[in-house]
Structure 1
C-alpha cells in the first residue's frame, strides 16, 4: 500500500531515462538477429558433438528470444509507468494546490489538517455555520482527492510489480523458435499497463474529478477513444472532455436508433398484405404497438438531429457542448450553450412534463434565448445548460406524483456539484431554472440534497416541494435568507399553476407538490410575466421581448 508521503516523492524522470537505455540495448540485440539465424550445425556434420552443438545453438536462440521479450516488455512497462506517474503527480499537485489555497495541509499519511483560522461570525453568518460547512466540504473534497491519487498509485505500483515479477521468472514467452523480432513484439504487448479504473458509476463528482486528475494526457486519449462511456456522463470532469466522449456516444446512439427504426418498419410491413387494392392488417394490435414504438424512435431521432444541428452551428457565436446522451425510456440529454467551465455566469434549465429526447430541440432554443438575454443584461461571459437529465412525467396526470422529482434529486444535485468542481478560476454565479414540473424537481433537490446554486427560478410551477422559500438549501446562502435568492413567476393565464395550487395559506400542506411559489406568504421574490394566449401561455415565458425572458436574463446575469 503506497502512502501519500511516498507518492509525493515519485518522479517519472528515472523511468524515462531507463526507456532510453533499454531502447539502445534492444536495438543492439536486434542487430544480432542475422548472426543467430545464420548460426547452426555445418552441413554434413553429425554425431554426438554435432548434436551437442545443435542443442547449444537452440538454447542460445531461445535465450536471445527471451531476452528480447524481456527487454521489450520492460521498456514498454517503464514507458507506461513513467507516463502514469506524471498523471499521478498531476493529481498530487491539484490536491496540494487546493489545500494550500484553502489553508489545509495533507500529512504524509494522507490525513487532512485544517490550518485555517476559527470561523468569524458575521451578520450574514451569525453562528459561523456557513464557514464551518464550507470548510467541511473542502476537507471532504481533499479526502476524495487523496483517496483517488493513492488508488491510482497502487494500481500503477501493482501493475509494474507484476511485469517485473514475470521478467524475473525468465518466462515472458514460450520459446517457439520464431525470431527475435517476433519475440520482442510479444514482450512489448505484454508490457502494457492498465489505466486506473474510474470510480463506480454514481460516484460523487469530487471522486470523478480526482480520478481524472491522476490520468496522463495519453491515458485520457486512450479512454476517450476506447471507452467514451466512462467519460461522457461523469459529473465533475471537464466540459471539453465530456463533450468529446459524448459526441462519439451520440454517433452510436443515432446508429442504434436508425437500426431500430429499420427493424420496426420491416416488422410493420410484414403485417400488411394487399388484397383487392386495400391494405389488410393481419394483426391490428401488434400493428398499433409497433407503430407506436416507431413513432417513439422517430421522435428520438429528431431530437438527436436537433442536438447535431446545435453542436455544428454556434448561435450568436456561442458553441455548444454535449454533456450527456441517453436514449433509454424517453431519453436524456444535457446540452450546454457556452462552456460552463469558463463562464462567469452559468445557468441550468430544467424543463418539465413531457420533456425527453424528442423535444430537446425546443428546450435548447429556450436556453439560447436566455443566454442571449443575459448578455443583453450585461453578462459578457455566460453559459446556459439544457438539463434533461431525468425521466420527466409523460402526461399531466403523471405530474401529480412526486416520484419523478424524487428520482431527479441525486442526478441534479451531482450535476450542479460537478459544475462547481470543474469550473476554472473564480467561482461562477450560478442559477437553476425550473419550468413546470421541472420546478418541482429543482425545489425537491434543494430541499433534500442541497443545490450548488446562488439563485433559483421557478416559472409556471405546480409547486416546489416546500411551503416556504427558507426550506430550500442553496450552497453559501445562510439559513433564513434563501427567500432573497428564490425568484418565481406565473403568467396570469397559465392553467398549470392555476389548476394545481389552492392559493390558500392554510391549505398549502394539502398540496402534494407544495404551494404556488409566487404567493406572498411563500417568502420568495417574484417577477412579471405577460398574460399570453391562454392556450399557449404555459410555454410562452421564453417569447422574445417578453417580460419573463428579460427578468430571467437579469437573474442569470446576477443583476437581481
Structure 2
C-alpha cells in the first residue's frame, strides 16, 4: 500500500527523462521495417534448411514486433506516469501547505496530527477557532485520502503496464502476417497498452472541497483530457479550475443546442399533426407558444455562443469562461469575464426576476460593465461572474414568494466555496456578492443561511435580503453595501425584511442617481434598471467595492 511518506518521495523527473532515449530506440527499430519485409526464403529453395531459415526469419520478425510494442508501451506509460506524478505532487504540496498554515502535520502514514492552535487566541474566539480547526482537519483528511487513492491507482496502472512488458505479452506478434510486417503498426498496438486511466472524480453532489482535493491530484494534461472526454463530469463541478470547466461546458453547450433543435423539430411535427387533425387541434396554440419559448431559448444560446468567441490572444483577465450551462426548463448559465482562478478581485452577480437563458445576454452585459468599472478602479486583475444557477421568478407576482430565493441557497454556497478552492496563489482573492432586485434576495438568503465565502455584499434595488440587520449576512456591517435609486419602486418595498438602504439596517450606501421618474408618482420601472448607466455614479461605486476599495 502506498503511504504518505512514499508519495512525498515520488519524482516525475527520472520517468520523464527516460522518454527521450526510449523514443530514439523506437525510431531506430521502426526504420528496420522495410528491411524485414525483404527477409524471405529465396524462390526455389525448399527442404529442411529452407524451413529452418524461414522459421528463424519469422522468429526475428516476431521478436522485433514484440520489442517495438514493448518500447512503445513503455514510452507512453513512463510519459503518462511522470505526468500523473506531477499532479499528485501538486496535491501533496497543497495539503502540506494547508497543514503548515493551520498548525497541523501529516504523518508518514497519512494521519492528520493537530499541533494545537496559536497560544495567544483571545478567550472570546476560542470556540470559533476550534470550529475552524475541525473544518480544516476534515479538509486535510479529504485531501490526503484523495492523494493516496490517486497514487494507489497510478501505482497499480503502471505496474500492470510493466507486468505485461516483462511477460512478453504486450501484443501477440505470432498472429501477424510477417509477409506484411509493419513495426509501426506493432508499436501503435503496443502504445495502446501503455495508457493509464484517469481516476474518476468524486460522486455527484460532492462538496467543493472534495472536488478540489481530487482535482489537485491531476496533472494539467489529465485535467484537460478529462474535460474533453467526459465534459459532463467536469463542466458543472464547483472546485474544478475555470480553464477546464470552460473547455467542458463549451462542448456541453453544443450538445444542449442539438437537443433543443431536436425538441424544436418534434414540436413542429406536433403542430403539423394538430393542423392536419391527426391529433387534437386544440393543442395548436399551446404547442405554438411552447415553440416560441424554445426559439427564444435557442436564440439566447446562440447569442451566448457568439459572445464566447474571442481571439486566441485575448488576455486572461478579459477572456470569457463558461462555468456552467443547462438548457432544460428556463435554462441556466454561469459566465465569468476574467479568470476567477487567477483574478485578485472576484465578483459574483446574481440577477433577478425574469432572467432566463433566453435573455441571459443582458445579465452578461451588466457583468461586462461592472468588470470595466472594476478595471478603472484598480490595476489589479478582476473577474466578474454572471451567475444564473437558480430558477429566478418569471414574473412580478412570482417575485412575492421566497421559494425561488430558498432554491438558490445551496448552489450559490457551493459556487462561492468552489471559487475559494480553485483560486491559485498564496493570497486569497477578494470576493464580492452582488445581487440585483430579487437576485439580492436570493443572495441574501444564501448569506443568511449558508454563511457564504465572501468579503463584501452589494444589494442593488433590493426588495429585502431576508434579514433586518446587516450583521445577519455574517459580515461586518461596513462590508455590506446598499444601492437604491430614489425613483426605484422596488428598493422601497422591504418585502423580504428591512430595506438595505434604510439607516436602521446598518449597511453602507453607494450613491446612485435618482433615475427616471413618472409624472405625479415619481417612481418609474426604468429607474430599477439604470444603475449600470455609464453616467450613474453608482456604477463607479460598485466597481470600487469589487476592487476592494471605498467608494468615493
User: Given the superposition, is the C-alpha separation of residues 22 and 394 from structure 1 closer, same or farther in structure 2, using an over 3 Å criterion?
Assistant: same
Say yes or no: does 1:485 pair with 2:479.
yes
Partner of 2:176: 177
Matches within 5 A, 1:14-413: 14-20=14-20, 22-23=22-23, 26=26, 30=30, 34-35=35-36, 38-39=39-40, 43=44, 45-46=46-47, 62=62, 64-115=64-115, 118=118, 120-121=120-121, 126-174=124-172, 175-178=174-177, 179=181, 181=183, 182-265=185-268, 267-269=270-272, 271-272=274-275, 283-312=280-309, 318-377=318-377, 380-413=380-413
**Cα deviations across residues 142-188 of structure 1 (Å, max 9, x unaligned)?**
33332322222112111112223333444433431333523332222
Structure 1 residues 38 and 142: CA distance shift in structure 2, 3 A: same
Tell me whether 1:537 sits opposite 2:527 in the alignment. Answer: yes
Of 502, 505, 524, the residue aligned with 2:507 is: 524
* SS in structure 2 of the partner of residue 287 of structure 1: helix
- Checking the alignment, whether the CA contact within 8 Å between 2:95 and 2:140 is kept in structure 1 is yes
Mapped pair 1:5 → 2:2: no
For these two proteins, the number of residue pairs brought into alignment is: 532
Post-superposition Cα deviations, 1:282-307, rounded to whole Å, max 9, x if no partner, equal 75433223322322222223322433
Conserved? CA contact 1:445–1:451, under 8 Å: yes
- Alpha-carbon distance between aligned partners in 1 of 2:32 and 2:453, rounded to the nearest angstrom: 65
Post-superposition shift, 1:205?
2.4
**Which residue does the alignment assign to 1:478?**
none
SS at match of 1:151: helix
* Structure 1 residues 468 and 284, CA gap change in structure 2 (3 angstroms): farther
CA distance in 2, matches of 1:451, 1:242: 22
Report the CA distance between 1:452 and its aligned residue: 0.9
- Contact 2:41–2:50 at 8 Å: present in 1 too? no
Pick closer, same or farther for the CA change 1:469–1:67 going to 2, 3 Å: same
Deviation at 1:135, TM superposition (A): 4.4
For structure 1, the residue ranges without an aligned partner over 5 or more in a row are 274-279, 475-481, 502-512
Describe the shift of the 1:31–1:363 C-alpha distance in structure 2 as closer, same or farther (beyond 3 A). Answer: closer
Give the C-alpha shift of residue 440 in structure 1: 2.3
CA RMSD, aligned part only?
3.5
Q: CA deviation at 1:411?
A: 1.6
Cα distance in 2 for partners of 1:552, 1:60 equals 75
Q: 2:520 maps to what in 1?
A: none
Displacement, 1:402?
A: 3.2
**Deviation at 1:349?**
0.9
Q: Do the aligned residues in 2 keep the contact of 1:68 with 1:180 (CA within 8 Å)?
A: no
Structure 2 distance, partners of 1:73, 1:105, is 39
Shift of 1:193: 0.9
CA shift, 1:398, in A, is 3.2
What's the CA shift for 1:450?
Answer: 1.4
Match of 1:471 in 2: 472
- In 2 relative to 1, CA 239–20 (structure 1 residues): closer, same or farther, beyond 3 Å? closer
Conserved 8 A contact 1:457-1:487:
yes
**TM-score, reference length from structure 2:** 0.83
SS at match of 1:432: strand
Name the stretch that deviates more: 515-524 or 390-399. Answer: 515-524
Structure 1 residue ranges, 4+ long, deviating more than 6 angstroms after superposition: 49-57
Indicate the larger mover: 450-459 or 51-60. 51-60
Match of 2:521 in 1: none
Are the structure 2 counterparts of residues 319 and 184 from structure 1 closer, same or farther at C-alpha, using a change threshold of 3 Å? closer
Determine helix, strand or coil for the equivalent of 1:38.
Answer: coil
Q: Is residue 549 from structure 1 mapped to residue 539 from structure 2 by the alignment?
A: yes
- C-alpha separation in 1, matches of 2:401 and 2:265: 36
Q: Which moved more, 1:414-423 or 1:326-335?
A: 414-423
Change (3 A) 1:45 1:299: same
Alpha-carbon contact 2:515-2:526 (below 8 Å) kept: no
> What do the CA deviations read for 1:193-231 (whole angstroms, capped 9, x no partner)?
112222233322233333333222332342343333333
Q: What's the secondary structure of 2:125's corresponding residue?
A: coil
Measured in 1, the distance between the counterparts of 2:14 and 2:344 equals: 42
TM-score by length of 1: 0.82
CA shift in 2, pair 1:10/1:376, >3 Å:
closer
By how many angstroms is 1:5 displaced? 0.6
Cα separation, partners in 2 of 1:61 and 1:379, compared to 1, 3 Å: closer
Distance 1:423 1:177, change over 3 A: closer
Change (3 A) 1:318 1:46: closer
Distance 1:309 1:52 in 2: 69
Q: 1:87 to 1:519 in 2, by over 3 A?
A: same
Query: CA separation in 2, counterparts of 1:136 and 1:436?
Result: 37
**2:39/2:57 contact within 8 Å kept:** no
CA contact under 8 A between 1:119 and 1:131: conserved in structure 2? Answer: no
1:208 to 1:40, Cα distance in 2 relative to 1, 3 A: farther
Q: Aligned-pair distance for 1:495?
A: 4.2
Partners of 1:17 and 1:372 lie apart in 2 by: 46
Which 10-residue stretch deviates more, 520-529 or 298-307?
Answer: 520-529
Q: 1:403 to 1:166 in 2, by over 3 A?
A: farther
Deviates more, 1:197-206 or 1:253-262: 253-262
